[in-house]
Structure 1
Amino acid sequence: MEEKKPVKKDQEIVYYQEDEIDLYELWLILKKRWKVVVSTTLIFVITAIVYIFIAKPVYTSSFFVKIPGRYLKTGNSFSRINLISVEETSRIISDLSATIKDKKLLKLPEDKIRNIVNITPSKIKGNQELIEIEIETYKPSIILDISKSLISYLNSNPYVKRKIETERAKLQIFIKESKNKLHEMEKTKELIYKNLKNGKIQNLGFNPLDLDTKILNIKKDIAELEIRLKNLKGFEISVDPAIPEKPSKPKKKLILAVSVVSGLFLGVFLAFFLEWIKNASRRHKEKQL
Structure 2
Amino acid sequence: MTEREIKELHEDEIDLYELLLVLKKRLKLIIAVFVFGVVAAAVLSFLMPNIYQARTTMLVDSSLTQALLNNLQQYQFKGENKFSFIIPLQERDNQQVNNMALAILNGLEFKKKVLNRIKAIYGNTEEILNLERSLGNKKSLFESKVDRETQAIVVLSEHKDKKLAEDILKAALEEFEKELDKVSQNYQKMFGQGYEKSDKNSIFILNVVEQPTSLEKPVKPKRKLIIAVSGVTFLILGVFSAFVIEWWSRVKSTQ
* TM-score, normalisation: structure 2: 0.65
Aligned-residue offset at 1:270: 1.0
Structure 2 counterpart of 1:261, one-letter code: V
Structure 1 position 71 matched with structure 2 position 71? no
8 Å CA contact 1:37–1:268 kept in 2: the answer is yes
Question: What secondary structure sits across from 2:212 in the alignment?
Answer: coil
Q: Which runs of 5+ in 1 are unaligned?
A: 7-14, 177-226
Which is richer in strand? 1
Counterpart of 1:169? Answer: 189
Structure 1 position 253 matched with structure 2 position 246? no
Q: Which runs of 5+ in 2 are unaligned?
A: 68-89, 132-139
> Does the C-alpha gap of structure 1 residues 102 and 149 become closer, same or farther in structure 2, counting only changes over 3 Å?
closer
Q: How does 1:109-148 map to 2 (within 5 A)?
A: 109=122, 110-111=124-125, 113=128, 119-128=142-151, 130-148=152-170
Structure 1 position 104 matched with structure 2 position 124? no
Aligned-residue offset at 1:35: 2.2
8 Å CA contact 1:68–1:235 kept in 2: the answer is yes
Sequence identity (%): 26
Aligned-residue offset at 1:123: 1.9
Question: What secondary structure sits across from 1:242 in the alignment?
Answer: strand
Structure 2 counterpart of 1:45, one-letter code: V
> Does the C-alpha gap of structure 1 residues 155 and 34 become closer, same or farther in structure 2, counting only changes over 3 Å?
same
8 Å CA contact 1:140–1:243 kept in 2: the answer is yes
> Of 40, 47, 52, which residue of structure 2 is paired with 1:47?
40
Structure 2 counterpart of 1:41, one-letter code: F
Aligned-residue RMSD, C-alpha: 4.1
Distance 1:5 1:38 in 2: 39
Aligned-residue offset at 1:119: 1.8
Structure 1 counterpart of 2:187, one-letter code: E
RCO comparison, higher one (Cα < 8 Å, 6+)? 2
Aligned-residue offset at 1:260: 1.2
Cα deviation digits, residues 220-241 of structure 1 (max 9, x gap): xxxxxxx984453464532113
> Of 231, 238, 243, which residue of structure 2 is paired with 1:272?
243
Structure 1 counterpart of 2:176, one-letter code: L
Distance 2:211 2:16 in 1: 59
Larger Rg: 1
Distance 2:211 2:204 in 1: 18
8 Å CA contact 2:142–2:156 kept in 1: the answer is yes
> Does the C-alpha gap of structure 1 residues 172 and 103 become closer, same or farther in structure 2, counting only changes over 3 Å?
closer
> Does the C-alpha gap of structure 1 residues 83 and 230 become closer, same or farther in structure 2, counting only changes over 3 Å?
farther
Across the two proteins, how many residue pairs are aligned to each other?
A: 215
Counterpart of 1:30? Answer: 23
Distance 1:95 1:58 in 2: 24
> Does the C-alpha gap of structure 1 residues 164 and 135 become closer, same or farther in structure 2, counting only changes over 3 Å?
same
Structure 1 counterpart of 2:147, one-letter code: I
8 Å CA contact 2:51–2:219 kept in 1: the answer is yes
Aligned-residue offset at 1:267: 0.8
Structure 1 counterpart of 2:156, one-letter code: E
Counterpart of 2:82? Answer: none
